[in-house]
Chains A and B, each alone.
Chain A
Amino acid sequence: MNTIKMKKLIIEIIATLLALALFGVPFYFVVVNSGKDAAAAARMTLSFPETTQYLDNFRQVITASNSMLIRAFFNSFIISAATIIVLIVIASSAGFVLGRRKGKAVNIISFLVLAGLMVPPAIVPTIWLLRTLGLYKSLTGLILVEAAIMFPFTLLLYRGYVTTIPRELDEASLIDGTGPVKMFSLVIFPLLKPVSVTVTIINAITIFNDFVHPLYFLPGAKNATVQLTLYNFMSTFSTKWNLLYADVLIISIPPLIFFILFNSKIVSGMVAGAVKG
Chain B
Amino acid sequence: MSKSVQSLYTYTFLLPAGVIYALFFLAPTFLSFFYSLTIWTLSEWRFTGLDNFAIFLSEPSLVIGFRNTLVYATVSASLKVVLGFLLAAFLTSELRTKGFLRSLIYFPNIVSTIAVGIMFSSFLHPSKGIVNVLLALIGIDGPDWLGNPSIALLSVALVDVWKGVGIAMVIFIAGIQAIDRQYYEAARIDGASSFDALRHITLPLSRSSMNTVIMLAFIGGLRSFDLIWVMTKGGPGFTTDLVASIIYKQFQGGFYGIATAGNVILFLIVSAFAIPLYRIITKKEVDL
Contacts and interface: CB of A to CB of B under 8 A. Distances in A.
Given A116-B25, A274-B216, A211 B113 contact: yes
B276 to A, nearest CB: 13
B97 A12 contact: yes
A123 B247 contact: yes
Given A112-B26, A259-B107, A97 B9 contact: yes
A119 interface: yes
Contacts of B128: 42-44
A98 interface: yes
A121 interface: yes
Contacts of A155: 17
B20 A147 contact: yes
Interface in B261-288: 263-264, 266-267, 270-271, 274
Given A22-B162, A86-B20, A248-B118, A211 B251 contact: no
Interface residues of B, number: 88
A186 interface: no
Interface string B7-18: 111111110111
Contacts of A91: 17
B24 A183 contact: no
Interface string B134-174: 00000000000000000000000000001000010011001
B13 A94 contact: yes
A271 B13 contact: no
B253 to A, nearest CB: 12
B7 A211 contact: no
Given A16-B97, A118-B274, A90 B20 contact: yes
Nearest to B120: A26
Contact of B24 (A128, A145, A234): A145
B39 to A, nearest CB: 12
A86 B23 CA distance: 15
A1 interface: no
B230 A234 contact: yes
Interface in B221-235: 223, 225-226, 230
For the side of the interface on A, what is the size category? Answer: 35 or more
B101 A15 contact: yes
Interface string A4-48: 000000001001100110111111011000000000001111100
Pick the most buried of A22, A112, A128, A266: most chain B CB atoms within 10 A of its CB: A128
Interface stretch (A51-59, A64-72, A166-174): A166-174
Contacts of A119: 29, 267, 270-271
Contacts, number: 237
Contacts of A215: 248
B229 to A, nearest CB: 8
A90 to B, nearest CB: 4
B146 to A, nearest CB: 14
A170 B9 CA distance: 9
A124 B5 contact: no
A109 B219 CA distance: 22
A127 B115 contact: no
Contact of A125 (B1, B21, B32): B32
A274 B118 contact: no
Nearest to B262: A123
5 contacts: A124-B42, A147-B24, A148-B21, A151-B21, A184-B13
Given A112-B21, A123-B260, A180-B10, 12 more contacts: A15-B97, A23-B108, A26-B123, A44-B125, A44-B128, A46-B130, A120-B270, A124-B256, A125-B27, A125-B35, A148-B20, A267-B170
